[in-house]
Amino acid sequence: MQFLEYMAVAYAVIWGAVLVYFVSLARKEKALWEEIHEIRRQLSDGEKGTRPEVS
């Protein structure tokens, strides 16, 4: 039981690192979804515009 404090600290540090990792992944995912929505909006705006006549 002499190393129990060190094990508890290591456990907390590991879970803290996992939490930071998941938060950073969530931020990156949010940025990607925002970019996807912006691209979709631009594409739909482009489809609504006038197209040149093709003969």
pLDDT digits (tens, 9 = 90+) for 3-54: 999 999 999 999 999 999 999 999 999 999 999 999 999 999 887 766 666 6
Per-residue burial over 43-55, b = 16 or more CB atoms within 10 Å of its CB, e = otherwise: eeeeeeeeeeeee
Q: Give the domain range for residue 30.
A: 18-45
Structure tokens that stand for 44 in this block: 């739909």
Examine residue 26 and state whether it is found in any structural domain, yes or no: yes
Specify the number of domains making up the chain: 1
Looking at the chain, how many residues does it have? 55
Is residue 7 a part of any domain in this protein?
A: no
pTM of the model: 0.66
Residue 22 belongs to some domain of the structure: yes
Q: Is residue 55 part of a domain?
A: no
